[in-house]
Amino acid sequence: MNYNELTKQIKLDSYMMSSLPIQIRNAALSNIIEALLAKKDDIFLANKEDLESAESNNEPAPILNRLIFDSHKLKGVIDGISSLISLKDPLFNLQLVRELDQGLILKKETCPIGVIGVIFESRPDALVQISTLCIKSGNCSILKGGKEAAKTNKILFDVIYAAGIDAGLPKGFMTLIENRADINELIKCHDSIDLLIPRGSNSFVQYIMSNSKIPVMGHADGVCHIYVDQSADLDKALPVIMDSKAQYVTACNTLETLLVHKDIAAELLPALQNSSYAGNVELRGCPKTLKTIDCIPATEEDFKTEYLDFILSIKIVENLDEAINHINKYGSHHTDCIVTEITGDATKFMALVDSANVYQNCSTRFADGYRYGFGAEVGISTGKLHARGPVGLDGLVTYKYKLFGNGHIVADYVEGRKNFNFVDK
């Protein structure tokens, strides 16, 4: 395939896409819900074939789990699309209206980015989430999914594509790339693709960043921390630590390093080791930790590592400042949490830790578009760049998410004991 020509055509269609009224974009989303329901048996059949191939290839259990697209997953993506439909139009919002002089009026208005290439992992539901987010926001998407999900992705693409065209979206609104080798062609098309969102391993994301002139949004690493302050309430700390580490061990927002104030280590660490999860999680401690509990020694390398596994590195620190410095030095600017009952310590931690998500007293696993009430997400960005046009003060400012909790954990939500109830203040 000639990707240069293909993406040029998509780019042209993106201008039309950018000017479509919200009625057409929402109608496309409604069409997609209907089409997914109408074709569900074919989708499940394709998914069964993918699952059988994966099983016969002896793919590991986590891959098989992510690969499943059953009625439960279908309900999930349809709920997601329904909530997307109900969300306010992100386009054509005036962020500034300013008269510069009599009759000279400046308006700052939101518009789509244009053409977005997303390379994602083996979850077929990601294809539905990403493509519908792009439709709602008026962007054209070029999608490459995991090869294990090839048949499921193909039928999901075909169903969504037909439903979108039927609603009046331009031909180039969505494109599926089926061959992994084509990624190397795609990332050369910097004249036509505005943004790449690679999701996957650190090395894959680094490869994309190093080999393309296209801006990349996302994250390579998720080395997330919890710091347990001397004032921490252990009844909050232990469940938050365990949820952050073990609730879904391969996610980017899981805990990798636990930092513990020296005055609470003797109480916290044995309790952690003896907690119900302890059998599953291998603890690797700094020299001071080894004097407190019996565990494997941690090396310098451990504190830089995103395990994505049932392993937790532990470091005892002198104070809040050492914890903050450790996180800023070893972390990946993704999600970091302080467990404390002292408001001033939380305020300082959340101001000085240079991460996209900074938390007090709640699980790092909350770092997720759905859990923030965004409907879904295309990825999590640890970058900061964001400005366009003349860059004044506003363009020098980025943001961080501050989440104040009271011992909240994600397991309660995933396992149905609590429900999200989004209310904007």
List the interface residues with its own copies, window 91-120 (CB under 8 A). 91, 95-114, 116
DSSP β-bridge partners for residue 176 = 143
Shortest Å distance, C-beta 330 to its own copies: 12
Q: How far apart are CA 121 and CA 144, in angstroms?
A: 9
Question: What does each C-alpha distance from 354 to 67, 217, 297 come to in angstroms?
Answer: 34, 17, 28
Q: Applying CB under 8 A, does 80 fall inside the site for its own copies?
A: no
Selected range binding its own copies among 45-53, 153-161, 171-179, 364-372, rule: CB under 8 A? 364-372
To its own copies, the closest distance from the beta carbon of 192 in angstroms equals 11
**Closest distance between its own copies and the C-beta of residue 285, in Å?**
26
Binding residue count for its own copies, defined by CB under 8 A:
105
289 or 361: whose CB is closer to its own copies? 361
Contact between 324 and its own copies by CB under 8 A: the answer reads yes
Give the one residue of 59, 70, 158, 194 binding its own copies; rule: CB under 8 A.
194
Of 75 and 108, which has the nearer Cβ to its own copies? 108
Cβ(308)–Cβ(250) below 8 Å? yes
The number of C-alpha atoms within 13 Å of 61 and in the hemisphere containing its C-beta is 1
CB of 144 or CB of 219, closer to its own copies: 219
Q: Would you give the DSSP letter of residue 223? A: -
- Among 121, 178, 182, 368, which residue interacts with its own copies (rule: CB under 8 A)? 368
Owner of token pair 């030095």:
329
The answer to whether residue 380 forms part of the interface with its own copies (CB under 8 A) is yes
415 binds its own copies (CB under 8 A): no
Is position 417 an interface residue for its own copies (rule: CB under 8 A)? no
Helix (H) or strand (E) holding 312: strand 311-317
Q: Can you tell me which of 37, 42, 45, 422 binds its own copies, judged by CB under 8 A?
A: 422
Q: Which of residues 125-154 bind its own copies (CB under 8 A)?
A: 133-134, 136-137, 139
Indicate whether 367 belongs to the interface with its own copies (CB under 8 A): yes
Cα 262–Cα 266–Cα 269 angle in degrees, nearest 5: 100
Residue 72 or 107: the one with the smaller Cβ distance to its own copies is 107
The only residue of 322, 374, 411, 414 in contact with its own copies, by rule CB under 8 A: 374
Q: Judged by CB, which is closer to its own copies: 290, or 352?
A: 352
Closer to its own copies at the Cβ: 209 or 295?
A: 209
178: closest CA among 207, 158, 160, 193? 158
Which residues lie closer than 8 Å to 17 by C-beta, 6 or more apart? 112, 138, 139, 140, 169, 170, 172, 173
Measured CA to CA, the distance from residue 399 to residue 410 in angstroms comes to: 24
Beta-strand runs (E) in 185-295 = 195-198, 224-228, 255-261, 282-285
